[in-house]
Amino acid sequence: MIRRPLELFACTLAGGALALAYAEPAWAGVAGSVGGAGLWVTFDNIRAARVLSWLRHGHAVRPPAVSAVWAEVVERARRGFKVLNRKARKSEARLQEFLAAIQASPNGVVLLDKTLNIEWCNFTAAQHLGFDSKRDVQQQIRNLIRDPAFIAYLNEGDFSKPVEIDGRDAYPGHPHRIAIHIHVYGKGRRLMLTRDVTAVQQAEAMRRDFVANVSHEIRTPLTVVSGFIETLQQIDATPEERARYLALMGQQAQRMQTLVSDLLTLSRLEGSPVPGSTEWVSSTELLDQVVAEARALSDVVAGGEHAIVVQPSPEFEIAGARTELVSAISNLLSNAVRYTPSKGRIEVGWRLLSDGGAECFVSDSGPGIEAEHLPRLTERFYRVDRSRSRETGGTGLGLAIVKHVAQRHGGQMLVDSVVGQGSTFRITLPPSRVLAD
């Protein structure tokens, strides 16, 4: 603050010296003052120009070299720059975090301006709708999504409910449905949210099919039982007829009991915790139990004429739920017995895998399964041959139970089949659940 008048005094002396050299003595004092003031104003303007240039184009860490009051102006401005830069960096960091969160969202997000041009979108929306999240910015949304249902949705302007369209991956036999919901915000801008509802629709379809299948499966034996009960109530049947009717009623009652038992098993598997590794089961004991049950079933279905062969298998321990493992292997063997013709061959056994895991295999010499049916075998109530399944007492839930048991033990169910040659079903278990000598 002191240097400013000193500079003014120096400029005045310099101006006075010039005035003495060129002016009349009477006007020398006035001329010196005017000249000094002019020089001071010139120097001050130069400093002001430097400061102004720095404010316009400079950097906070490289301020201009000035003195007097301009030095304080520059220092205060430099501090202000630092504060603003710090706030700008924080705002940019928050913005990037916000955008990263939107990018990670399972739902698609598209920002549209007043004219419905894309201002920004995340990768999920681009994947749902089939456009490029960078290249298609500022493109008209109508030109990118041409589904008639979506165009009508835009034209109507009623965005109270979402609209559903086919996704980019949809093709016959492979549905892919995307729900789009538009929300108006700001001054005419629009926020467009997308969501993949394929799984939801499939789950709803499976629920409807499940209810319909259960109703149908129970209604059929109930109709038979009700019919025989009505017959016995209305006519005087002979002891032989009565015995035959009661046998058929018992058969249908057993069918309903099996269906209910399988449904309860599935419900228990889906609602209970994954089996731990504290309970160990012998592979040989499992095999002996299920083979005995399969031979008993063969006696009923085919008069015991199946050749059920137990292949030489290693003995080891399995960490898991004994009842679940018995149920899974038993279902595979019972299916083999039911679908393999009389005098057919069924092989069952264990193998140790190279990675330390194990697998149980059941092979039969039955009719085999066509490739188109293999992906759907584990669906509830799905049958390759419905009439034969009902004749042999199948519920259509056995392979669904096998799949759930295998997955709960960290493994999977695999199928290999050749039409006319038979099928092989395998349950694999990971090394963590196998303890071999």
- pLDDT tens for 185-234 read 888 899 999 998 888 887 787 778 777 777 777 887 888 888 888 888 88
Residue 240 token pair: 């032989």
Contact (CB, 8 A) for 433 and 320: yes
Query: Residue 181: its pLDDT value, please?
Result: 94
The chain-wide mean pLDDT, for the chain, equals 81
Stretch among 12-16, 50-54, 282-286 having the lowest mean pLDDT: 12-16
Q: What angle do CA 285, 287, 289 make, to 5 degrees?
A: 70
What homologous superfamily does CATH list for 273-436? Histidine kinase-like ATPase, C-terminal domain (3.30.565.10)
Using 50, 70 and 90 to split pLDDT, how confident is the model at 9?
A: very low
Q: Which CATH class is domain 202-272?
A: mainly alpha
Query: Residue 362: its pLDDT value, please?
Result: 95
141/261: higher pLDDT:
141
Distance CA 326, CA 322 (A): 6
Contact (CB, 8 A) for 366 and 232: no
Stretch among 43-47, 263-267, 294-298, 390-394 having the lowest mean pLDDT: 390-394
Of 183, 207, 180, 210, the residue nearest 196 (C-alpha): 180
Using 50, 70 and 90 to split pLDDT, how confident is the model at 310?
A: very high
Strand partners, 414: 426
Distance CA 153, CA 164 (A): 10
| Rg of the chain (C-alpha set) | 43
434/208: higher pLDDT:
434
103/357: higher pLDDT:
357
Query: Residue 58: its pLDDT value, please?
Result: 55
- Residue 244, pLDDT above cutoff 50: yes
Distance CA 336, CA 96 (A): 59
Query: Residue 219: its pLDDT value, please?
Result: 82
Neighbours of 293 (CB within 10 A): 16
Distance CA 153, CA 402 (A): 45
Query: Residue 274: its pLDDT value, please?
Result: 85
- Residue 142, pLDDT above cutoff 80: yes
Task: Print the SS3 string covering the chain.
Answer: CCHHHHHHHHHHHHHHHHHHHHCCHHHHHHHHHHHHHHHHHHHHHHHHHHHHHHHHHCCCCCCCCCCCHHHHHHHHHHHHHHHHHHHHHHHHHHHHHHHHHHHHCCCEEEEECCCCEEEEECHHHHHHHCCCCCCCCCCEHHHHCCCHHHHHHHHHCCCCCCEEEECCCCECCECCEEEEEEEEECCCEEEEEEEECHHHHHHHHHHHHHHHHHHHHHHHHHHHHHHHHHHHHHCCCCHHHHHHHHHHHHHHHHHHHHHHHHHHHHHHHHHCCCCCCCCEEEHHHHHHHHHHHHHHHHHHHHCCCCEEEECCCCCEEEECCHHHHHHHHHHHHHHHHHHCCCCCEEEEEEEECCCCCEEEEEEECCCCCCHHHHHHCCCCCCCCCHHHHHHHCCCCCHHHHHHHHHHHCCCEEEEEEECCCEEEEEEEECHHHEEEC
Q: What is the pTM (predicted TM-score) of this model?
A: 0.55
Using 50, 70 and 90 to split pLDDT, how confident is the model at 31?
A: low
- Residue 118, pLDDT above cutoff 50: yes
- Residue 1, pLDDT above cutoff 50: no
pLDDT (average), residues 43-64: 66
Contact (CB, 8 A) for 105 and 124: yes
Using 50, 70 and 90 to split pLDDT, how confident is the model at 3?
A: very low
Predicted confidence (pLDDT) per residue in 170-189, tens digit? 777 678 889 999 999 888 89
- Round to the nearest angstrom and report the end-to-end CA distance of the chain: 92
Predicted confidence (pLDDT) per residue in 369-413, tens digit? 888 888 888 887 777 765 554 555 567 788 998 999 999 999 999
- Would you list the domain boundaries of the chain? 3-98, 105-196, 202-272, 273-436
280/73: higher pLDDT:
280
- Residue 428, pLDDT above cutoff 90: yes
Query: Residue 358: its pLDDT value, please?
Result: 94
126/60: higher pLDDT:
126
Write the CATH number of the domain with boundaries 105-196: 3.30.450.20
Query: Residue 217: its pLDDT value, please?
Result: 74
